[in-house]
Protein backbone atom coordinates (compact mmCIF):
# COMPACT_ATOMS: atom_id res chain seq x y z
CA UNK A 1 0.00 0.00 0.00
CA UNK A 2 1.28 3.46 -0.86
CA UNK A 3 0.14 7.00 -0.05
CA UNK A 4 1.04 10.04 -2.11
CA UNK A 5 1.14 13.52 -0.60
CA UNK A 6 -1.23 16.13 -2.03
CA UNK A 7 0.62 18.62 -4.24
CA UNK A 8 -2.26 21.10 -4.09
CA UNK A 9 -6.04 21.28 -4.13
CA UNK A 10 -6.24 22.74 -7.63
CA UNK A 11 -4.01 20.04 -9.07
CA UNK A 12 -5.98 17.36 -7.21
CA UNK A 13 -9.34 18.51 -8.54
CA UNK A 14 -8.06 18.73 -12.11
CA UNK A 15 -6.41 15.34 -11.95
CA UNK A 16 -9.50 13.65 -10.55
CA UNK A 17 -11.69 15.12 -13.29
CA UNK A 18 -9.44 13.41 -15.84
CA UNK A 19 -9.62 10.02 -14.21
CA UNK A 20 -12.40 7.93 -12.69
CA UNK A 21 -15.11 10.54 -12.27
CA UNK A 22 -18.18 11.22 -14.34
CA UNK A 23 -17.24 14.70 -15.45
CA UNK A 24 -19.44 16.53 -12.96
CA UNK A 25 -19.07 20.30 -12.66
CA UNK A 26 -19.99 20.14 -8.99
CA UNK A 27 -17.32 21.52 -6.68
CA UNK A 28 -18.95 21.21 -3.27
CA UNK A 29 -16.90 19.18 -0.79
CA UNK A 30 -18.26 17.76 2.46
CA UNK A 31 -16.17 17.19 5.55
CA UNK A 32 -16.17 13.75 7.17
CA UNK A 33 -15.23 12.29 10.49
CA UNK A 34 -12.34 10.02 9.55
CA UNK A 35 -12.07 8.47 12.99
CA UNK A 36 -12.23 4.70 13.21
CA UNK A 37 -15.69 3.18 13.08
CA UNK A 38 -16.22 0.65 15.86
CA UNK A 39 -19.54 -1.13 16.35
CA UNK A 40 -20.74 -2.55 19.64
CA UNK A 41 -20.18 -6.31 19.72
CA UNK A 42 -23.88 -6.83 20.47
CA UNK A 43 -24.94 -5.02 17.29
CA UNK A 44 -22.47 -5.83 14.49
CA UNK A 45 -22.51 -3.65 11.41
CA UNK A 46 -22.83 -4.84 7.83
CA UNK A 47 -19.10 -4.23 7.50
CA UNK A 48 -18.47 -6.50 10.48
CA UNK A 49 -20.55 -9.29 8.99
CA UNK A 50 -19.93 -8.93 5.26
CA UNK A 51 -16.88 -6.71 4.78
CA UNK A 52 -14.47 -9.63 4.41
CA UNK A 53 -13.96 -12.44 1.95
CA UNK A 54 -16.63 -15.10 1.52
CA UNK A 55 -16.18 -18.88 1.48
CA UNK A 56 -15.87 -19.42 -2.28
CA UNK A 57 -12.59 -19.39 -4.25
CA UNK A 58 -12.61 -17.06 -7.26
CA UNK A 59 -11.99 -17.82 -10.93
CA UNK A 60 -11.78 -15.13 -13.62
CA UNK A 61 -10.68 -14.52 -17.17
CA UNK A 62 -9.51 -11.01 -16.24
CA UNK A 63 -5.75 -10.45 -16.38
CA UNK A 64 -5.03 -7.83 -13.75
CA UNK A 65 -1.78 -6.14 -12.73
CA UNK A 66 -0.50 -2.83 -11.33
CA UNK A 67 -1.98 0.25 -13.00
CA UNK A 68 1.44 1.93 -12.73
CA UNK A 69 2.63 -0.27 -15.61
CA UNK A 70 1.22 2.38 -17.97
CA UNK A 71 1.52 6.18 -17.97
CA UNK A 72 -2.27 6.57 -17.87
CA UNK A 73 -2.52 4.15 -14.97
CA UNK A 74 0.29 5.88 -13.12
CA UNK A 75 -1.62 9.18 -13.26
CA UNK A 76 -4.86 7.48 -12.20
CA UNK A 77 -3.12 5.83 -9.28
CA UNK A 78 -1.67 9.13 -8.08
CA UNK A 79 -5.11 10.74 -8.33
CA UNK A 80 -6.92 8.21 -6.15
CA UNK A 81 -4.21 8.37 -3.48
CA UNK A 82 -4.59 12.14 -3.36
CA UNK A 83 -8.21 11.60 -2.41
CA UNK A 84 -7.46 9.10 0.33
CA UNK A 85 -7.27 5.61 -1.20
CA UNK A 86 -4.83 3.32 0.59
CA UNK A 87 -4.32 0.53 -1.96
CA UNK A 88 -2.64 0.93 -5.34
CA UNK A 89 -4.98 0.57 -8.31
CA UNK A 90 -5.05 -2.59 -10.38
CA UNK A 91 -5.72 -2.56 -14.13
CA UNK A 92 -6.12 -4.81 -17.12
CA UNK A 93 -4.45 -3.99 -20.44
CA UNK A 94 -7.66 -2.52 -21.89
CA UNK A 95 -6.83 0.66 -23.84
CA UNK A 96 -5.74 3.32 -22.82
CA UNK A 97 -4.07 1.42 -19.96
CA UNK A 98 -2.67 -1.07 -22.48
CA UNK A 99 -3.07 -2.25 -26.04
CA UNK A 100 -6.03 -4.61 -25.57
CA UNK A 101 -9.48 -3.71 -26.88
CA UNK A 102 -11.07 -0.75 -25.05
CA UNK A 103 -14.40 -2.61 -24.97
CA UNK A 104 -15.23 -6.00 -23.53
CA UNK A 105 -16.57 -7.95 -20.57
CA UNK A 106 -14.59 -9.58 -17.76
CA UNK A 107 -16.16 -12.54 -15.97
CA UNK A 108 -15.70 -13.61 -12.34
CA UNK A 109 -17.31 -16.74 -10.92
CA UNK A 110 -16.93 -19.08 -7.94
CA UNK A 111 -14.20 -21.60 -8.76
CA UNK A 112 -16.37 -24.25 -7.11
CA UNK A 113 -19.31 -23.41 -9.38
CA UNK A 114 -19.60 -27.08 -10.41
CA UNK A 115 -20.62 -27.89 -6.85
CA UNK A 116 -23.26 -25.16 -6.75
CA UNK A 117 -26.77 -25.47 -8.12
CA UNK A 118 -26.52 -21.97 -9.61
CA UNK A 119 -25.27 -18.52 -8.68
CA UNK A 120 -27.04 -15.14 -8.79
CA UNK A 121 -25.75 -12.70 -11.40
CA UNK A 122 -24.34 -9.24 -10.72
CA UNK A 123 -23.51 -6.96 -13.66
CA UNK A 124 -21.06 -4.30 -12.42
CA UNK A 125 -20.39 -1.26 -14.62
CA UNK A 126 -17.60 1.16 -13.74
CA UNK A 127 -17.18 4.89 -14.20
CA UNK A 128 -15.91 7.01 -17.07
CA UNK A 129 -12.25 6.23 -17.77
CA UNK A 130 -12.31 3.51 -15.12
CA UNK A 131 -10.36 0.46 -16.22
CA UNK A 132 -12.28 -2.75 -15.42
CA UNK A 133 -9.34 -4.04 -13.38
CA UNK A 134 -9.92 -1.26 -10.87
CA UNK A 135 -12.99 -3.17 -9.67
CA UNK A 136 -11.09 -6.44 -9.24
CA UNK A 137 -11.20 -6.21 -5.43
CA UNK A 138 -14.98 -5.62 -5.31
CA UNK A 139 -15.63 -8.30 -7.94
CA UNK A 140 -13.56 -10.85 -6.02
CA UNK A 141 -15.31 -10.01 -2.77
CA UNK A 142 -18.75 -10.43 -4.37
CA UNK A 143 -17.74 -13.60 -6.18
CA UNK A 144 -16.37 -15.11 -2.97
CA UNK A 145 -19.88 -14.65 -1.57
CA UNK A 146 -21.28 -16.91 -4.29
CA UNK A 147 -22.13 -14.49 -7.12
CA UNK A 148 -21.24 -14.53 -10.79
CA UNK A 149 -19.97 -11.04 -11.63
CA UNK A 150 -19.72 -9.58 -15.12
CA UNK A 151 -17.79 -6.31 -15.61
CA UNK A 152 -18.63 -4.76 -19.01
CA UNK A 153 -16.60 -1.76 -20.15
CA UNK A 154 -15.94 0.60 -23.05
CA UNK A 155 -14.31 3.66 -21.36
CA UNK A 156 -17.46 5.87 -21.44
CA UNK A 157 -19.57 3.40 -19.42
CA UNK A 158 -22.48 5.82 -19.15
CA UNK A 159 -25.38 4.29 -21.08
CA UNK A 160 -27.58 1.21 -20.74
CA UNK A 161 -25.99 -0.71 -23.59
CA UNK A 162 -22.86 -1.28 -21.47
CA UNK A 163 -24.50 -3.32 -18.67
CA UNK A 164 -26.70 -4.87 -21.37
CA UNK A 165 -23.51 -6.28 -22.93
CA UNK A 166 -22.56 -7.82 -19.60
CA UNK A 167 -26.00 -9.37 -19.25
CA UNK A 168 -25.86 -10.71 -22.81
CA UNK A 169 -22.53 -12.44 -22.19
CA UNK A 170 -23.85 -14.01 -18.97
CA UNK A 171 -26.81 -15.43 -20.91
CA UNK A 172 -24.43 -16.79 -23.55
CA UNK A 173 -22.31 -18.45 -20.84
CA UNK A 174 -25.44 -20.01 -19.34
CA UNK A 175 -26.42 -21.51 -22.72
CA UNK A 176 -22.91 -22.58 -23.85
CA UNK A 177 -22.28 -26.26 -23.14
CA UNK A 178 -18.53 -25.62 -23.29
CA UNK A 179 -18.65 -22.92 -20.61
CA UNK A 180 -18.01 -23.67 -16.93
CA UNK A 181 -21.11 -21.52 -16.34
CA UNK A 182 -23.38 -23.66 -18.50
CA UNK A 183 -26.72 -23.85 -16.69
CA UNK A 184 -25.21 -22.14 -13.64
CA UNK A 185 -26.27 -18.49 -14.06
CA UNK A 186 -29.30 -17.74 -11.90
CA UNK A 187 -30.90 -15.16 -14.16
CA UNK A 188 -33.96 -15.04 -11.90
CA UNK A 189 -31.79 -13.14 -9.40
CA UNK A 190 -30.05 -10.62 -11.66
CA UNK A 191 -28.72 -7.50 -9.95
CA UNK A 192 -27.56 -4.43 -11.88
CA UNK A 193 -24.77 -2.58 -10.10
CA UNK A 194 -22.60 0.34 -11.05
CA UNK A 195 -20.23 2.99 -9.77
CA UNK A 196 -20.27 6.62 -10.93
CA UNK A 197 -21.32 6.74 -14.60
CA UNK A 198 -21.93 3.00 -14.39
CA UNK A 199 -24.37 3.58 -11.55
CA UNK A 200 -26.47 5.68 -13.90
CA UNK A 201 -26.18 3.08 -16.67
CA UNK A 202 -27.38 0.39 -14.25
CA UNK A 203 -30.45 2.47 -13.43
CA UNK A 204 -31.13 3.09 -17.11
CA UNK A 205 -31.12 -0.62 -17.91
CA UNK A 206 -33.20 -1.40 -14.82
CA UNK A 207 -35.77 1.12 -16.03
CA UNK A 208 -36.44 -0.77 -19.28
CA UNK A 209 -35.35 -4.37 -18.73
CA UNK A 210 -38.22 -5.60 -16.51
CA UNK A 211 -40.72 -4.92 -19.28
CA UNK A 212 -38.83 -6.98 -21.88
CA UNK A 213 -37.03 -9.53 -19.69
CA UNK A 214 -39.35 -12.44 -20.51
CA UNK A 215 -38.75 -11.93 -24.24
CA UNK A 216 -34.99 -12.17 -23.69
CA UNK A 217 -35.09 -15.22 -21.42
CA UNK A 218 -38.13 -16.66 -19.62
CA UNK A 219 -36.14 -16.96 -16.38
CA UNK A 220 -34.69 -13.42 -16.44
CA UNK A 221 -35.79 -11.23 -13.55
CA UNK A 222 -34.17 -8.02 -12.27
CA UNK A 223 -33.98 -8.41 -8.49
CA UNK A 224 -32.73 -4.88 -7.90
CA UNK A 225 -30.10 -2.18 -8.38
CA UNK A 226 -26.99 -1.17 -6.47
CA UNK A 227 -26.13 2.42 -7.48
CA UNK A 228 -22.78 3.45 -5.98
CA UNK A 229 -22.24 7.23 -6.19
CA UNK A 230 -24.08 7.22 -9.53
CA UNK A 231 -23.85 9.69 -12.40
CA UNK A 232 -26.69 12.07 -13.28
CA UNK A 233 -28.03 10.45 -16.47
CA UNK A 234 -30.85 8.49 -14.79
CA UNK A 235 -34.10 9.41 -13.07
CA UNK A 236 -35.88 7.74 -10.17
CA UNK A 237 -39.47 7.71 -11.50
CA UNK A 238 -38.52 5.09 -14.12
CA UNK A 239 -37.26 2.57 -11.55
CA UNK A 240 -39.60 -0.29 -10.65
CA UNK A 241 -37.19 -2.58 -8.75
CA UNK A 242 -35.61 -2.21 -5.28
CA UNK A 243 -32.67 0.20 -5.40
CA UNK A 244 -29.94 1.06 -2.92
CA UNK A 245 -28.03 4.30 -3.41
CA UNK A 246 -24.64 4.44 -1.67
CA UNK A 247 -23.00 7.86 -1.38
CA UNK A 248 -19.99 9.29 0.45
CA UNK A 249 -19.56 12.30 2.70
CA UNK A 250 -16.17 13.03 1.08
CA UNK A 251 -17.47 12.69 -2.49
CA UNK A 252 -17.26 16.02 -4.33
CA UNK A 253 -17.94 14.44 -7.75
CA UNK A 254 -21.34 12.98 -6.77
CA UNK A 255 -22.30 14.83 -3.58
CA UNK A 256 -25.10 13.22 -1.59
CA UNK A 257 -27.12 16.44 -1.81
CA UNK A 258 -27.01 16.59 -5.63
CA UNK A 259 -28.83 14.58 -8.33
CA UNK A 260 -28.42 11.24 -6.57
CA UNK A 261 -30.88 12.54 -4.00
CA UNK A 262 -32.99 15.09 -5.88
CA UNK A 263 -33.94 13.37 -9.13
CA UNK A 264 -32.92 9.81 -8.35
CA UNK A 265 -33.67 8.71 -4.76
CA UNK A 266 -36.26 11.42 -3.96
CA UNK A 267 -38.18 10.73 -7.18
CA UNK A 268 -38.20 6.94 -6.88
CA UNK A 269 -41.96 6.67 -6.47
CA UNK A 270 -42.54 3.28 -8.10
CA UNK A 271 -40.02 1.11 -6.27
CA UNK A 272 -38.57 0.64 -2.79
CA UNK A 273 -35.46 2.80 -2.41
CA UNK A 274 -32.78 3.33 0.22
CA UNK A 275 -29.93 5.86 0.44
CA UNK A 276 -26.93 5.74 2.80
CA UNK A 277 -24.21 8.41 3.04
CA UNK A 278 -20.98 7.01 4.50
CA UNK A 279 -18.40 8.92 6.52
CA UNK A 280 -14.87 8.86 5.18
CA UNK A 281 -15.91 7.71 1.69
CA UNK A 282 -14.79 9.62 -1.39
CA UNK A 283 -15.76 9.12 -5.01
CA UNK A 284 -12.78 6.83 -5.47
CA UNK A 285 -13.23 4.63 -2.38
CA UNK A 286 -15.05 1.88 -4.36
CA UNK A 287 -11.83 1.26 -6.35
CA UNK A 288 -9.79 1.00 -3.15
CA UNK A 289 -9.37 -2.38 -1.51
CA UNK A 290 -12.72 -3.86 -0.47
CA UNK A 291 -11.52 -3.84 3.13
CA UNK A 292 -10.78 -0.10 2.89
CA UNK A 293 -14.12 0.83 1.28
CA UNK A 294 -16.36 1.44 4.30
CA UNK A 295 -19.58 0.60 2.46
CA UNK A 296 -18.35 -2.68 0.96
CA UNK A 297 -20.07 -4.74 3.68
CA UNK A 298 -23.35 -2.90 3.14
CA UNK A 299 -23.04 -3.56 -0.60
CA UNK A 300 -22.54 -7.29 0.07
CA UNK A 301 -25.48 -7.33 2.49
CA UNK A 302 -27.68 -5.76 -0.20
CA UNK A 303 -26.52 -8.28 -2.80
CA UNK A 304 -27.11 -11.20 -0.44
CA UNK A 305 -30.55 -9.87 0.48
CA UNK A 306 -31.55 -9.62 -3.18
CA UNK A 307 -29.65 -12.61 -4.52
CA UNK A 308 -30.12 -15.20 -1.79
CA UNK A 309 -32.94 -13.86 0.35
CA UNK A 310 -30.45 -13.77 3.23
CA UNK A 311 -32.57 -12.90 6.28
CA UNK A 312 -29.63 -11.60 8.33
CA UNK A 313 -28.56 -9.34 5.48
CA UNK A 314 -32.16 -8.23 5.00
CA UNK A 315 -32.35 -7.00 8.59
CA UNK A 316 -30.19 -4.04 7.59
CA UNK A 317 -32.84 -2.86 5.12
CA UNK A 318 -36.31 -4.13 6.04
CA UNK A 319 -38.66 -4.13 9.01
CA UNK A 320 -39.56 -1.48 11.57
CA UNK A 321 -36.28 -2.00 13.44
CA UNK A 322 -33.98 -2.08 10.40
CA UNK A 323 -30.35 -2.01 11.43
CA UNK A 324 -28.63 0.31 8.93
CA UNK A 325 -29.64 3.56 10.72
CA UNK A 326 -27.80 2.35 13.85
CA UNK A 327 -24.55 1.94 11.92
CA UNK A 328 -22.27 4.85 12.84
CA UNK A 329 -20.44 4.40 9.55
CA UNK A 330 -23.23 6.47 8.03
CA UNK A 331 -23.83 10.18 8.39
CA UNK A 332 -27.40 9.69 7.15
CA UNK A 333 -29.63 6.77 6.15
CA UNK A 334 -33.11 6.98 4.64
CA UNK A 335 -35.67 4.80 2.89
CA UNK A 336 -38.84 5.73 1.02
CA UNK A 337 -42.38 4.65 2.01
CA UNK A 338 -42.35 1.65 -0.34
CA UNK A 339 -39.13 0.43 1.27
CA UNK A 340 -40.56 0.96 4.74
CA UNK A 341 -43.51 -1.28 3.79
CA UNK A 342 -41.29 -4.21 2.75
CA UNK A 343 -41.37 -7.16 5.17
CB atoms under 10 Å from CB of 281, counted, come to 29
pLDDT for 296 beyond 80 = yes
**Partners of 119 in the beta sheet?**
185
pLDDT for 3 beyond 60 = no
DSSP letter for 96, please. Answer: T
**How confident is the model over 204-255, as pLDDT tens digits?**
999 999 999 999 999 999 999 999 999 999 999 999 999 999 999 999 999 9
Name the 3-class secondary structure at 197: helix
What is the reported pLDDT for 168?
Answer: 98
**How confident is the model over 106-142, as pLDDT tens digits?**
999 999 999 999 999 999 999 999 999 999 999 999 9
Report the sign of the C-alpha dihedral through residues 86, 226, 258, 247, in that order: negative
pLDDT for 151 beyond 60 = yes
Across 34-48, 101-115, 263-277, least confident range: 34-48
**How confident is the model over 52-103, as pLDDT tens digits?**
999 999 999 999 999 999 999 999 999 999 999 999 999 999 999 999 999 9
Across 11-25, 285-299, 314-328, least confident range: 11-25
Q: How confident is the model at residue 2 (pLDDT cuts 50, 70, 90)?
A: very low
Q: How confident is the model at residue 29 (pLDDT cuts 50, 70, 90)?
A: very low
What is the reported pLDDT for 42?
Answer: 67
pLDDT for 4 beyond 60 = no
What is the reported pLDDT for 205?
Answer: 98
pLDDT for 37 beyond 90 = no
What is the reported pLDDT for 45?
Answer: 95
Phi-psi region of 319 (alpha: psi -120 to 50; beta: other; left: phi over 0): left
What is the reported pLDDT for 302?
Answer: 98
Residues 96 and 102: their CA atoms lie apart, in Å, by 7
DSSP line for 36-90? PP---TTS--HHHHHSS--SS-EEES---EEGGGSHHHHHHHHHHHHTT--SPPE
What is the reported pLDDT for 27?
Answer: 28
pLDDT for 16 beyond 70 = no
* The Cα angle at residue 185 between residues 210 and 118, in degrees rounded to 5: 120
Amino acid sequence: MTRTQTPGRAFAAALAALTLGIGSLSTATAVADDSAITAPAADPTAQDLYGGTGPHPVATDARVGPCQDSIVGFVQNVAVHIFGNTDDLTCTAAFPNGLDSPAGVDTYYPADIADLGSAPLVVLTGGIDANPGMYDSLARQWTSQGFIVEIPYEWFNSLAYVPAAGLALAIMHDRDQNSPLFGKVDLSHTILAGHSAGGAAAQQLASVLPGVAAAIDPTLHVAGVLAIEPGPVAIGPLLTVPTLFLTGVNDFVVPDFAWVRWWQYNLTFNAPAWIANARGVSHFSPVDGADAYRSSGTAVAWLRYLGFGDETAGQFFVGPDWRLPRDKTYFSVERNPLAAAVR
